[in-house]
Structure 1
Amino acid sequence: MHIVVCIKQVPDSAQIRVHPVTNTIMRQGVPAIVNPYD
C-alpha cells in the first residue's frame, strides 16, 4: 500500500512583516513551517 500526503509550507505567521511600499509579504528571514491546517 502506498500513501501520499500533500502538505504546504507557509511563512510563520508570528513573524510575517509587510513591505510598507508594495504591501507584500517580506519572506526574507521568515522561517517556513508546515501549514497548521494540513
Structure 2
Amino acid sequence: MDPKISAAIEFVQATGNPSAIGRLEDVVEIVKGRQGTWFEA
C-alpha cells in the first residue's frame, strides 16, 4: 500500500480523527474539506 495511504489510515486508527491526503497546491481546499482523499473512522 502506498506509504501516504498507510500513514493516513494509521493516524485515523490511532487518534479517531479524520485525515486527508492530496496535492500541496490544494492545501487550502483540503483543509476546507473540498479536495483531497479523506479517511475517517
TM-score range, shorter chain: 0.3 to 0.5
Q: Which has the larger radius of gyration?
A: 1
- Structure 1 or 2: more helix by fraction: 2
TM-score with structure 2 setting the length: 0.32
Compare relative contact order (CA 8 Å, sep 6+) and give the higher one, 1 or 2.
Answer: 1
